[in-house]
Structure 1
């Protein structure tokens, strides 16, 4: 049984996704399984990505939350890592995080710093995007400070929560709110992922009025106490 399950969800991003897969295969840690969930791609992704995965799931287009949940259901690792198909990992990302999680057994989640590329050029972080660990619930209310690609999550945490499939976007914002409302979160101050923005097909660019989904998540968090 692998220690880590790496889950890549993708939809019509075969070239970006192939590069994301390559960044996984270059990890210094080899104790993982790679699960790719294809959310109904029509661009030939299956032919390119299928042979690269340990498990390849093709499903009717159902949205990112359903794809993440399908990947988790198929997984067997003690720790779960998601990698957005347009992001990349530094080669020691898994090693650094699993070392931390093994030494901190009460921590449900750790996340890392990130580098930003927009249209191929480096983009500096804005001050209000600064990251930290500990009690970050209020910070998570303000914005989605945890990139899914930077997180390592204990299996039992996701078994209890799952991603909300009513959300076409902001499913990560919703998840981090629920976790941070109950637990402290660990931050590893190293840039171990590369976020690539400014390209066609980004959910955050294509979905209008995203704030309504954040409001839904906030109301849900308040109702849960």
Structure 2
């Protein structure tokens, strides 16, 4: 078993996804090293998830089901992390067996990174690549890509994101003002990083497989809030230069 250069905390959100969690655990066990902690963030499951997780993972944080509150439980889970980096993998997904090896090989302290999300159908077969790869679709044979430009944040996705724990603490966690389940939280974090001196990178060979489902159209509130916060990030960055 190979020793990792860095320490990682893998954080997984779940809600009544016990079968998917078992699949995720199998693929985490297949990684080239296992010296990392695993944290399951449960947003109120009532299907026996708690009993299984407590036997089969390192740490478990739970909140009662008072509606979809993903941000709150993810922030709570991050406070339990011991690794230098937080690795976010959602409960309806699982990593390719060399995912952490690819991350460990290319991550660096001043970098916020994202892997590539591949959608799979109900039979586990390829369905599509995530739409966020539009900016890099001709470079998928590379192992590490620095993304730049005003909208560099748009290449990042929370599901497969690798974040320095110190960055999470610096930005005060995931912003809770977004309508959850629609997106923009990942762009918010990536934009914060972009305008606070972090490099943004995509690791095309660090692959997450994701159960395909229909994407929901984002809300007007999310778009408005993100644009307001993006402008704020830019103003702070400009004032510091």
TM-score by length of 1: 0.83
Q: Distance in 2 between matches of 1:79 and 1:127?
A: 22
* Matching of residues 99-114 of structure 1 within 5 Å: 99-101=105-107, 104-105=108-109, 107-114=110-117
Alignment partner of 2:146 out of 118, 126, 133: 133
The structure with the larger Rg is 2
Q: Distance in 2 between matches of 1:211 and 1:117?
A: 29
Structure 1 residue 139: Cα displacement: 4.1
Structure 1 residue 156: Cα displacement: 0.8
* Matching of residues 38-187 of structure 1 within 5 Å: 38-61=42-65, 63-101=69-107, 104-105=108-109, 107-120=110-123, 121-125=125-129, 129-131=134-136, 133-140=146-153, 143=154, 145-161=155-171, 162-167=173-178, 168-169=180-181, 170=183, 171-182=185-196, 183-187=198-202
The structure whose residues are more often helix, as a share, is 1
The count of aligned residue pairs is 212
Query: Structure 2 vs 1, CA of residues 54 and 134 (structure 1 numbering), >3 Å: closer, same or farther?
Result: same
Deviations 1:101-129 (A, max 9, x none): 2xx34x32122223221444422336973
Q: Distance in 2 between matches of 1:179 and 1:71?
A: 20
Contact 2:146–2:199, Cα closer than 8 Å, also in 1: yes
Q: Distance in 2 between matches of 1:30 and 1:86?
A: 21
* Matching of residues 10-29 of structure 1 within 5 Å: 10-29=14-33
Runs of 4+ in 1 over 6 A off after TM superposition: none
What secondary structure sits across from 1:109 in the alignment? strand
Gaps of 5+ in 1: none
Query: What corresponds to 1:197 in structure 2?
Result: 212
Q: Distance in 2 between matches of 1:198 and 1:7?
A: 21
Gaps of 5+ in 2: 1-5, 137-144, 236-241
